[in-house]
Amino acid sequence: MIKDMQDESEIFRGTTSGSTRLRDARSVRGTPKSGMPAFVLGEELANMADTDPRIVVATADLASANRTNDFRDRHPTRFVNFSIAEKNMITAAAGMASTGLIPYVATFASFAAILGAEAIRTDCAYPQMKVRIIGSHSGMSMGFYGSSHHALEDLGMLRCMADLTVVCATDANHLRAILRASVDHPKAMYIRLGRGRDPVVYDEVPDIAFGRALRLRDGADLTIIACGSQVRASLDAAQKLATQGLTVRVVDMFTLDRIDTAEIAAAARETKAILTVEEHNITGGLGSAVAEVLLDLPRMRFRKHGVPDKYVEVGPPAALYAHYRLDAAGITEVALELLSK
């Protein structure tokens, strides 16, 4: 369960340090909280760029929120802030990529993927430019900032685009793995991130390959196939279900396109039911992608779990996750409903 939701203003200023003259100790202005996992995005890209001159980074007036300022500080001549002009940023990145550079362009997922969708398709995917579009604060992780700032449709919109690889980062170490693997990936990519304070799933940087799911826990009664923020919640749900005598397999299906059909087939063959869990509209995302694979397999118990096909309520993220049963307790309930059918 995510508990660090007290300071929602942090979404816009990241965890950058800054002086403060505020009088109330509870006031906050840019002060990093101890123990809070910061975005590793800028730091990891800067590390990669130390030895790879092709890597350049851009953002759209969110360098502090997504910590690409960590890259800017170390590689200022290879960083561009396009201000609040996301389509221009994505298309310009495609132009850069046509010269052999590998641009990583980052902004909130709502603007990267949903506003930028046509630029992603027409300028990045279609001409096969090695642009990496990074959508942070995806899903409803922006909480009470509202549906304008949520991205609950991005996976559905982007996974039907040819020559675009769509992946979800699960936590900081997983993001490091994705970024490192992305350098040699021949296609354009959309990399979906949470808020940068994602609960830990991977204690070390995992070995990954795009299109190959990561099986994190094994079981026979149920397979939960999850991505992004819902992997940790699903693992915790699996633990709760274990106390009731149920063994649950948990799969991190972090590549949505191309999805790991073999892993889905194995779940269908070896476990009694499949539940997909995603922080995304129930239409078009991970659940739909898994269902498309299951259509060709023998009939089995299956349920998609995600955000209903409507704009979500106002509330802090943790409250929203609980409300829409996208936390460990909620997923446990949904799993029991499926298994009791």
Partner 1 sequence: MTSIRNVSLSVLEDRAKFIRKETVRLSRIAGAGHYSSTFSCAELLASLYYDQMNIEPGNPQWKDRDRFVMSKGHAAIGLYPVLADLGFFDPSELDTYTRLGSKYGDHPDMKKVAGLDFSSGSLGHGLSVGLGLALAARMTKRTYMTYVMLGDGELSEGQIWEAANSAGHFGLQNLVALVDRNGLSIDGHTEDVMSVEPLGDRFAAFGWEVQRIDGHDLSAIRAAFKALQRSGQGRPQVIIADTVKGRGVARMEMSLDWHVGNLVGEDYDAVMAELDAGLQPYESEAMT
Beta-bridged to residue 230, according to DSSP, are: none
Nearer to partner 1, 49 or 282 (CB): 49
Q: At CA 229, angle to CA 226 and CA 230, rounded to 5?
A: 35
Burial 71-101 (b: 16+ CB within 10 A, else e): bbebbeebbbbbeeebbebbbbbbebbeeeb
Nearer to partner 1, 128 or 239 (CB): 128
The residue among 32 and 95 lying less far from partner 1, judged by its C-beta, is 95
Q: Which is nearer to partner 1, 40 or 80 (CB)?
A: 80
**Residue 284 falls in which region: left (phi positive, over 0), alpha (psi -120 to 50) or beta:** left
Using an 8 Å Cβ cutoff, are 170 and 279 in contact?
A: no
CB of 78 to partner 1, least distance (A): 6
In the complex, the smallest distance separating the C-beta of residue 53 from partner 1, rounded to whole angstroms, is 8
**Shortest distance, CB of residue 229 to partner 1, whole angstroms?**
32
Least Cβ distance, residue 119 to partner 1 (angstroms) = 7
Distance CA 79, CA 61 (A): 12
**The sheet that has 255-257: what strands, in order across it?**
79-81, 55-59, 102-108, 132-136, 188-192, 164-168, 255-257
- Of 128 and 247, which CB lies nearer to partner 1 in the complex structure? 128
State the residues that interact with partner 1 by CB under 8 A: 56, 77-78, 80, 82-83, 85, 87-88, 91-101, 103, 118-119, 122-123, 126-128
Closer to partner 1 by CB, 101 or 266: give it: 101
**Smallest distance from the beta carbon of 50 to partner 1, in angstroms?**
16
CA separation for the pair 174, 37 (Å, rounded): 14
To partner 1, the closest distance from the beta carbon of 128 in angstroms equals 6
